[in-house]
Structure 1
Amino acid sequence: MGEESLKRRKGEDKGGEDRQSIQSHEPQTMNLQKQVGLISGICMIVGTIIGSGIFVSPKSVLANVEAVGPCLTIWAACGVLATLGALCFAELGTMITKSGGEYPYLMEAFGPIPAFLFSWTSLLVTKPSSFAIICLSFAEYASAPFYPGCDPPQAVIKCLAAAAIVVITIVNSLSVKLGSYLQNFLTAAKMIIVAIIIVSGIVLLAQGKTDNFKDSFKGSKISVSSLSLAFYNGLWAYDGWNQLNYITEELKNPYRNLPLSIIIGIPLVTVCYVLINVSYFTVMTSTELLQSQAVAVTFGDRVLYPASWIVPLFVVFSTLGSANGTCFTAGRLVYVAGREGHVLKILSYISVKHLTPAPAIIFYGAIAIIYIIPGDIDSLINYFSFAVWIFYGLTVLALIVMRFTRKELKRPIRVPIIIPVIVTLVSIVLVLAPIISAPELPYLYCTLFILSGLIVYALFVHFKFSWAQKISKPITMHLQMLLEVVPEEDVTE
C-alpha cells in the first residue's frame, strides 16, 4: 500500500515524457546513479584513508620496533601492502561490477554462507565500530581546546561524536552529490595540514635537523611478533584502501576510474605518511615521540607556535573527512546485503526523492551510535582489526579461487597471481600474530560473534521461518511509508 502511494505520488510529479511512459506501460527501473568520477574517486580513497590514524599511530608503530629506521620502513611497507591489496580488489571490482565490496566477491567464489558471515560481521562489528572510532577521535580533538590542562569529560566526547554521526548520516542520506562534495572539501582541508607538516619537515631537514636519523636502525627490536604488531597499527592508519569497491555501481567508467583512483590515491597516501613521519622525527627523538600524548599537536607546538592551533583544527577536518567517506561507502554494503535478502529488505530500498540508499545509511549510523555508548576506543580497534583482516584475506583468496573456477568472467584488469598470494599469506600472519603474541579475550569474543552468524543464517536466510517474515513485513511497510523509499526493481510507471 505504501509502495503504491509512493508510485502514484512520483507519477503525479512527472512531466509529459513520464505520462507518455505511463500510457505506453514502459517500465523504468530506479537504480543508484553513476555520479562519482575520477577526481571524486581519488578523493574518496585519500579522504577515507587519511583520518586520525596518521596523527596517533606513529607512536604505536615506533613502540613496537623502537627505532626510526624500522619505523619508516614499516610505514612504507604498509603502503605497499595496501596498494597490492587494492589492486587485487581492482581486478575483483572490474570483474564483478557490483557495489558492496567484499560481499559480492565472496558470494561468487564461495557461496552465500561466507558472504553472509562477512555482511553479518561488517554490518554489526567492523563498519560501525570503525565509524565510531573515527568520530570519537574527532570528538576528542574538537573538545580538547575547550579543556586546557585536563581531559574533556567523557559525556561531552560521546555527545559530540554522536552529533557528528547524525550530521554525516543525514548529509549522505540526502544526496550522493552532497556527500561527494563534502568529501572533496574535507579532503582538500586535510591535505592542507598534511602539506604544512611535510613542508615544515623538509625545511627543517634543509636546515640540518638530521640528528635523529643518524644510526636509525640502532637499538631496534625486530621479531615476527613486534613486526606484526607494528604492521597492525600502521595498517589501521591505511584502512580504507578498499572503500571504492563499495560504490562500483556509482562510478563513472569503473574499468578506467577504479584502477586509476587506486594507482594514484594509495601511493599518494603512502608518500604523505612517510614524509609526515620524517617530519615528526626532525623535531622529536624516539623517546620524546613515545612520551607525546598527541604527536601532531606536539609537532605543531614546537614548529608552528604561536599558530599551533592550526593542527588540532585541521585534524578535526581530517577525521570528519574519514568519517564521511566511511559512511558514504559502508552504507552501500548494507544496501547490497538487503538486496540479497541477508538483512531486512527495507535496507535495500532507495529514496524516491534523493536516489540514495537512505535506509541503509540510517541503519549504519544508528549502530555506530550504539558503539559510542561504551566509548572504549582500544577495544573497538581490537575488534575491528582482527575481524577485518580475516575477510580481507578471504576475499583475496576468492580472487585466486576464481582464476580457476570462473575462467569465463571478463577481467579488464588482471594482476599477476603472485600479488594475491602475497596478500593472502600476509593476512594470515596478521590475524594469527596478535593471538600468539598477546592473546586477549576480545579476539575470542569476536570469533564467537562471527560464528554466531551461522545460527542467524540458518534461521532467517536458509530456512526462512514464516514467523520471521510475518514480523518483518509490517515493519518494512511502515518504514517504507515513513522514509519514502521503494525497492529498485519494482519501480514502474
Structure 2
Amino acid sequence: MSSSPIPTGYLRSLRPWDAALIVVGGIIGGGIFLNPGIAAQRTDSGLTLLLMWVGAGVLTLIGALCYAELGARRPQAGGSYVYMREAFGPLAGFLFGWTMLLVIYSGSSAAVATIFASYACALFGLPPAAWGLPLTVGALVIVAGLNLFGLKLGAQIQNLFALLKLLAVAALVVCGLFLAGAGHGQVLAADPARHGVGFMGAALPVLFAYSGFTYLNNLAGEIRDPQRTLPRALMLGMLLVIVAYVLVNVAYLAVLGHAGLAASHAPAADVMQQVFGPIGARVIALGVAISALGFCNITLVAGARVLQVMGEDGLFFRSVARLHPRYHTPNIALLLLIAWSIVLTLSGTYGQLLDYATFGDWLACAVGVSTLFWYRRHDDATARFRVPGYPLMPLIFIAVIAWVVLATMRDNPMNAGIGLAIIAAGVPAYFIWRRLFGLKP
C-alpha cells in the first residue's frame, strides 16, 4: 500500500534539538508544579509515590515509542488524526478532530492559561479577581502572535520556553536535594495518616502531567529528515522529562515529607520559600508561568495542524486548510482554535474541561497506538524505526490505559460520562457534515 501524499505547503525547518524541546515543552506544563501534592494525597508512602511517577513515565515512554514508529511511517502533519483516518476510516479521524477541537487541546490550553494567570498575579502582586481573566486571555493572544509568522520563529521562542522551564525544574531539584533537603531519610517513608489509600487514584493527576507526548507528531510535516529525527526526538525528550519528574518528586519529599507534600497546594512554591523565603516563591512563580505559557504554545500550534489537514480532507471548513503564502503556517486554523479556547476560558468551566481533556487525551492516545497493528498488517513500507518488543509493548500501553479509563468511569462516572458524550456527539455531527458538505474525493 502506498503512503498518503505529504502536503507540500509546510517548510521542514525543525531541527532535531527543536523537535526534542517540543516534546519537553508539550509535556512539562503546570502539572509537575501542582499535581505531586494531589498524587501524594492518594498514595501511602514516598516509595509508592515515586513508583507511580516512574511507572507512568515508563508507560508514556512505551506510548512515545509507538508514536515514533507511526511518525516514521507517516511523516506528515496531522498526527493521530491521520493514523485514525487511514486505519479506521474518516469517521474515526473526524471524532478525534472533533474532540480535540472541543475539549482536548482547547480545554487543556484554557485551563493551563489560567495557571499562567494565577502565577503571573502572584509574581507581580496583582489581584486575581481583577487581572486573572485578562491575563488568561492575553496569554492565548500572545501564543497566537508568536506563531503567525512561521514555525521557525515560533520554534526559537518555544526553545527558550523549554530551556527556562528546565531551568525552573533544575532550581527545584538543587534547592530540594542540596540546600533544603535535610530529610533525605524521609523520601521513601510511609505516611501513617494515609494507610490503606488506594494506588489507582493517583493515576490521573500523574498521567495528566505526562500527557502531550503526541504533539510532535502533529508537526511531523515541518521536521527535517522526520523518519530519523522524530523517533530520536521523542525518546530524548521523554527521557529528559522522566528524569526531571522523578528528581523533582524526590526533592519535594526530601523537603516536605510525604505528609507535607500531601497537605501542600503549591509544593514548588513551598520548597523554594523554605530556601529563599518570599523571593524564592516569586522566582518559582515566574518559572511556573513560563512553563504554562510554553505548554499553551505547543498545544495550540499542534492542534492547528490537525484542523488544517481535516480541512484538506473535506472534514472541516475548506478555508481552514489554507496556509499563509509567505510563512507557510495554518493561521486560520490557529486563530480558530485559540478563539475557541478563549470562549472556554470565558465560560468559566475550564476546570471541568481539563478533566474531560485528560480523559479524552489518553483515550485518544490508546486508539492512536492501536493503529500500529493496522499499519503492520496493511502498510508494506519499511519503517526506519520499529517499536522494540512489538506487539507486547503497544498491548501493554493499551491495556493500562483501558484500565485507567475504566477506573475513572467507576470512580468519577459523571465526568467520564460527559467526556464520552462529547465524543459520541461527534457521530451525528460527522454525518450531518458529510451530507451538507461532502468529503474530498
Give the shorter-chain TM-score range: over 0.9
Match of 2:120 among 139, 142, 157: 142
- The CA deviation at 1:366 is 0.4
The reply to whether residue 152 of structure 1 matches residue 128 of structure 2 is yes
The reply to whether residue 201 of structure 1 matches residue 185 of structure 2 is no
1:334-483 to structure 2, matched below 5 A, reads 334-404=307-377, 406-415=378-387, 416-440=390-414, 442-461=415-434, 463-464=435-436
Alignment partners' CA distance in 2, 1:66 and 1:380: 29
The reply to whether residue 262 of structure 1 matches residue 234 of structure 2 is yes
Give the aligned partner of residue 31 of structure 2.
Answer: 53
- The CA deviation at 1:282 is 1.4
- The CA deviation at 1:113 is 1.0
The verdict on how the C-alpha distance between 1:348 and 1:214 changes in structure 2, with shifts beyond 3 A counting, is closer
- Paired AA for residue 279 in structure 1: A
Q: Is the 8 A contact 2:14 2:223 kept in 1?
A: yes
The verdict on how the C-alpha distance between 1:81 and 1:144 changes in structure 2, with shifts beyond 3 A counting, is same
1:77-116 to structure 2, matched below 5 A, reads 77-116=55-94
The verdict on how the C-alpha distance between 1:138 and 1:465 changes in structure 2, with shifts beyond 3 A counting, is closer
- The CA deviation at 1:222 is 6.1
Provide the secondary structure at the position in 2 that maps to 1:354.
coil
The verdict on how the C-alpha distance between 1:465 and 1:300 changes in structure 2, with shifts beyond 3 A counting, is closer
Give the aligned partner of residue 302 of structure 2.
Answer: 329
Structure 2, unmatched stretches of 5+, are: 1-6
Give the aligned partner of residue 133 of structure 1.
Answer: 111
Match of 1:39 among 2, 14, 17: 17
Match of 1:69 among 34, 42, 47: 47
Give the aligned partner of residue 276 of structure 1.
Answer: 248
Give the aligned partner of residue 476 of structure 1.
Answer: none
Give the aligned partner of residue 317 of structure 1.
Answer: 290
Alignment partners' CA distance in 2, 1:362 and 1:285: 44
Alignment partners' CA distance in 1, 2:437 and 2:176: 62
The verdict on how the C-alpha distance between 1:95 and 1:191 changes in structure 2, with shifts beyond 3 A counting, is same
The verdict on how the C-alpha distance between 1:30 and 1:412 changes in structure 2, with shifts beyond 3 A counting, is closer
- Paired AA for residue 381 in structure 2: L
- The CA deviation at 1:66 is 2.9
Alignment partners' CA distance in 1, 2:368 and 2:196: 30
Larger Rg belongs to: 1
Provide the secondary structure at the position in 2 that maps to 1:159.
helix
Give the aligned partner of residue 189 of structure 2.
Answer: 215
Alignment partners' CA distance in 1, 2:349 and 2:99: 19
- The CA deviation at 1:443 is 2.2
The reply to whether residue 190 of structure 1 matches residue 165 of structure 2 is yes
Q: What is the TM-score when the length of structure 2 is the normalising length?
A: 0.93
Give the aligned partner of residue 171 of structure 1.
Answer: 146
The reply to whether residue 253 of structure 1 matches residue 225 of structure 2 is yes
Alignment partners' CA distance in 1, 2:202 and 2:350: 18
- The CA deviation at 1:382 is 1.4
Alignment partners' CA distance in 2, 1:422 and 1:375: 37
Deviation per CA, 1:156-176: give whole Å up to 9, x if none.
212111011011112111221
Alignment partners' CA distance in 1, 2:327 and 2:376: 39
Alignment partners' CA distance in 1, 2:242 and 2:422: 33
Q: Is the 8 A contact 1:201 1:282 kept in 2?
A: yes
Alignment partners' CA distance in 1, 2:399 and 2:195: 23
Q: Is the 8 A contact 2:44 2:190 kept in 1?
A: no
Alignment partners' CA distance in 2, 1:193 and 1:394: 34
Structure 1, unmatched stretches of 5+, are: 1-28, 470-493
Q: Is the 8 A contact 1:327 1:361 kept in 2?
A: yes
Deviation per CA, 1:353-382: give whole Å up to 9, x if none.
321111111111001001101334431221
The verdict on how the C-alpha distance between 1:305 and 1:252 changes in structure 2, with shifts beyond 3 A counting, is same
Deviation per CA, 1:64-121: give whole Å up to 9, x if none.
1132111111111111111100110111111122211111111111111111111111
Alignment partners' CA distance in 2, 1:218 and 1:251: 50
Q: Is the 8 A contact 1:135 1:165 kept in 2?
A: yes
The verdict on how the C-alpha distance between 1:214 and 1:407 changes in structure 2, with shifts beyond 3 A counting, is closer
Give the aligned partner of residue 480 of structure 1.
Answer: none
- The CA deviation at 1:219 is 6.5
- The CA deviation at 1:465 is 5.4
Deviation per CA, 1:121-180: give whole Å up to 9, x if none.
1111111001111111100110124458xx721x52121110110111121112211110
- The CA deviation at 1:204 is 4.5
- The CA deviation at 1:208 is 4.8
Q: Is the 8 A contact 1:69 1:217 kept in 2?
A: no
Q: Is the 8 A contact 1:49 1:237 kept in 2?
A: yes
Provide the secondary structure at the position in 1 that maps to 2:323.
strand
Provide the secondary structure at the position in 2 that maps to 1:284.
helix
- Paired AA for residue 45 in structure 2: A
Question: RMSD between aligned alpha carbons?
Answer: 2.0
- The CA deviation at 1:335 is 1.0
The reply to whether residue 119 of structure 1 matches residue 97 of structure 2 is yes
- The CA deviation at 1:444 is 1.9
Q: Is the 8 A contact 2:187 2:258 kept in 1?
A: no
- The CA deviation at 1:446 is 2.1
Q: Is the 8 A contact 2:311 2:318 kept in 1?
A: yes
Q: Is the 8 A contact 2:75 2:221 kept in 1?
A: yes
Q: Is the 8 A contact 2:39 2:262 kept in 1?
A: no
Alignment partners' CA distance in 1, 2:188 and 2:139: 43
- Paired AA for residue 423 in structure 1: F
Match of 1:301 among 262, 273, 278: 273
Aligned residues: 430
- Paired AA for residue 254 in structure 1: P
More displaced stretch, 280-289 vs 104-113: 280-289
